[in-house]
Amino acid sequence: MAGNPTESYPDDLRYHREHDWARIEGDEATLGITWHAADALGELVHYEPPEEGSTIELGSSYGEVESVKAVSDVIAPLSGEVLEVNAKVVEAPETVNEDPYGEGWLVRVRLSDPSQVDGLMDAEAYRAHVAEQ
Amino acid sequence: MQTLLRTPLHARHVALGARLVPFAGWEMPVQYDGVIAEHRAVRADCGVFDVSHMGELEVEGPRAAELLQGLLSNDLERIGPGEAQYTLLTNERGGIVDDLIVYRLGTFRYLLIVNASNRAEDFAWLRERELTGSDVRDVSDDYALLAVQGPSSIERLELGQARAFTFAEERIDGVDCMVCRTGYTGEIGVELLCAAEDAEALWDAVLERGALPCGLAARDTLRLEACYPLHGHDITPETDAIAAGLGWACALDTAFTGAAELRRIKAEGPDRRLAPFVLEERGVPREGMAIEGGGRVTSGTHSPMLDRGIGLGYVAAEQAAPGSELSIDVRGRSRRARVVPKPIYKRARTA
C-alpha cells in the first residue's frame, strides 16, 4: 500500500511527548507529526490547518488530523507565528503517512521563544518515550 | 476487566498483522494493511471479512413461522425454503430492537443472522415470546461467517449466478457451507456460513482464490457509501422504521409488534427522517455532530470513493429531500453538506 514507511525518528529533529517533531532553522521551525502518531491514526484523509499569520502556543492544539476512524488534535511543540501551511498536505493528507518528516510537514513557524527548544526531546529520548507507549 | 471473545479465525488475523480492537465484546480485526486499500479492493475486485462475531439464532417447529411473523416486520410468507429476507425486530413503539436477515431453511426452520451487539437481547426477546411448537436456539458458537464481497467474488469462488437473497448448500474447496447471496457492502458477493472448526480451511481457500482480507473499518465505510444503516447508531430501539427509511421492510398489514404505531407514523408522516448526505466542503462528519435545524449525525466518515466526507443523520422531514442543503457543526466549524439520493456511492455497472 501507499504510505507506512518503516518506523524512524531522525536524529536531526527535536520531539514533543505528544508525538510532534520540530526541525529548527535559526528562529524558525518546521513542524509535523511523527511516524508513531501517523501509524497509530492510519492513513490520513483530512488535515485542518491553522491560518497563516495566526499564533500557536506550546502544548496547545493548532490543527487536526483525521483518518477514516479517528480524529486527533495536533499539539504545538513550540510557540510562534504560522508563516506557512503545507498546502500539499491539505490537498493530499496521506502525504503525512508516506513521508512524515519530509513532504508531510504541517506548518512552518517563526518562534516567539527559541529557548523552548531546550525543553524538547532529542531522537534518543523520544524513541524511549515511544517504547513506553 | 472484560475478557474479549475471539472468532475461530483469531490466529489467522494475528498472523496477517491485523490491528485488533474490541467490538461488541469481541476482539476483531479493524484493518490489515490499510482501510482505503481494503475498501477499494471490495469496490474493484474482491475482499473477505471475518464476521463470525455475528449471532445465529435458529427457530424451529410447526409454529416457528407464526412466532416470527408476530415479531418481525417484513412479510415472512413471501420467502420459501432457500430464500432470505431483510427484516426488523420491533418493539411496541415501532422502535428497532435489531435489524437482521432471516433465512428460511425449511418449511418449519428459520435461521436469523443478527448483530453481534444484540445477540443476547434478541435471543432473550424471542425466548420470552416462544410458543409451544417453536423452539429457539442460539447456535452462534457452532458457526463461522465469512463475507466475500466485490465484483469478482462470484467468479473467484467459481460459483454459479443466483438471485440476491437466496442461499444454497455448496462445497467450496472441500468445505461445506451455506452460500448466501447477501452482504453489507453494496457490491455483489456472498456470505459463507460454515462449521466453526472449518473456518480456517475456508478462510485459507478464499485467500488463495485472491480475496483481500478486510477489517471492520472498511466494512463500515463500504456500508455507509451503500447507505445501509448500522444498528445502535442509525437505527435504535428509540428510532422507528418509517423515519429510518425502512418502511419497505415493514409489512404494515400484518400484526407484528409495533405495527399499529408504525401505521400511525406512516399516515401522519414522521417528524424527522434519516438522510444520506455528502459534505461540500473539506472535513469529516462524525456521529453525534449537530445538524442545523435540530438534526444530528448518526454515522459519518470519509468516503474513499468520493474522497469526501459522507454520512447519515436525522433531520427535520422538510430538510430530508435530496438536494436539500444542510449545515453541520464539525468541531465548531460550520460545514455545508447536501442531502443525496441513496446510495451515496454506486459503482457504474459495466455492460
Contact B136, B63 (CB under 8 A): no
Nearest CA in chain A to B39: A68
Chain A contact present for B33, CB below 8 A: yes
pLDDT at residue B133, rounded to an integer:
85
Burial of B297 (0-12, 13-18, 19+ CB in 10 A): buried
pLDDT band at B3 (very low <50, low <70, confident <90, very high): confident
- B215-256 pLDDT, tens digit per residue, is 999 999 999 999 999 999 999 999 999 999 999 999 999 999
- B157-187 pLDDT, tens digit per residue, is 999 999 999 999 999 999 999 999 999 999 9
Contact B41, B185 (CB under 8 A): no
Give the CA distances from residue B114 to residues A61, A67, B88, B146, B165, in Å, rounded to whole numbers and listed in that order.
42, 29, 10, 14, 15
Q: Do A71 and B301 touch (CB under 8 A)?
A: no
Query: What does the block give as the cell for B329?
Result: 457543526
CA distance A40 to B319: 38
Q: Do B36 and A69 touch (CB under 8 A)?
A: no
Query: Do B271-351 and B10-52+142-225 fall under one CATH topology?
Result: no
- B299-346 pLDDT, tens digit per residue, is 999 999 999 999 999 999 999 999 999 999 999 999 999 999 999 998
- Has domain B271-351 been given CATH number 1.10.10.10? no
Nearest CA in chain A to B333: A48
The architecture that CATH gives domain A14-127 is Beta Barrel (2.40)
Protein fold of B10-52+142-225: Gyrase A; domain 2 (3.30.1360)
Q: For residue A68, give the nearest of B33, B301, B333 by CB distance.
A: B301
Q: What are the residue ranges spanned by the domains of chain A?
A: 14-127
Q: Do A46 and B217 touch (CB under 8 A)?
A: no
Average pLDDT rounded to a whole number, residues B64-74 = 97
Task: Answer yes or no: is pLDDT of B1 > 60.
Answer: no
Task: Answer yes or no: is pLDDT of A120 > 50.
Answer: yes
Average pLDDT rounded to a whole number, residues B74-100 = 98
Percent of chain B with pLDDT over 90: 96
Chain A contact present for B303, CB below 8 A: no
Cis preceding linkage at A49, omega within 30 = no
ipTM, 2 decimals? 0.83
Flag whether the pTM goes above 0.80: yes
CA distance B173 to B12: 18
Average pLDDT rounded to a whole number, residues B21-36 = 95
- Mean pLDDT, chain B, rounded, equals 96
| Helical ranges in A42-104 per DSSP H | 87-91, 95-98
Find residues 22-81 of chain A whose CB sits inside 8 Å of chain B: 42-43, 45-46, 48, 64, 66-69, 71
pLDDT at residue B184, rounded to an integer:
97
pLDDT at residue B350, rounded to an integer:
55
Contact B236, B95 (CB under 8 A): yes
